[in-house]
Amino acid sequence: MFHHLLQLLAQHQQELKLMAEHQEAERQRHLLAVRDQLANKKQRKLDNLRRQQEAELSREAITQQKELEELRGKQVGPDIAC
């Protein structure tokens, strides 16, 4: 009977160990998933920022081109009148 109790205790300890290992594996899986989600969110923010910066640079380039054309038009205008 004592041997049977020792055997049950050993089995119980093994089950506890397996449960703890499973719980740790789940915790690690969850941490990796959260890390991936945060990395994806950060990448999306960086991509959005890059697109916004590119759009702003394009708008500035268009504005500068228009201003340059206006200046050239004003420079050509008086020369033609002379």
Note the pLDDT tens digit of each residue in 29-64.
999 999 999 999 999 999 999 999 999 999 999 999
Q: Which domain holds residue 61?
A: 27-68
Q: Which of 7, 42, 11, 68 is nearest to 50 (CA)?
A: 42
In this structure, is residue 80 part of a structural domain? Answer: no
Measured distance CA(81)–CA(74) in Å, rounded: 11
Q: Is residue 7 part of a domain?
A: no
- What pLDDT does residue 57 have? 97
- Domain presence at residue 43: yes
pLDDT at 73: 87
Assess if residue 32 is contained within a domain. Answer: yes
Residue 20 lies in a domain: no
Among 38, 39, 20, 40, CA closest to 28 = 20
Count of domains in the chain? 1
Single pTM value for the model: 0.60
Say if 59 falls within a structural domain: yes
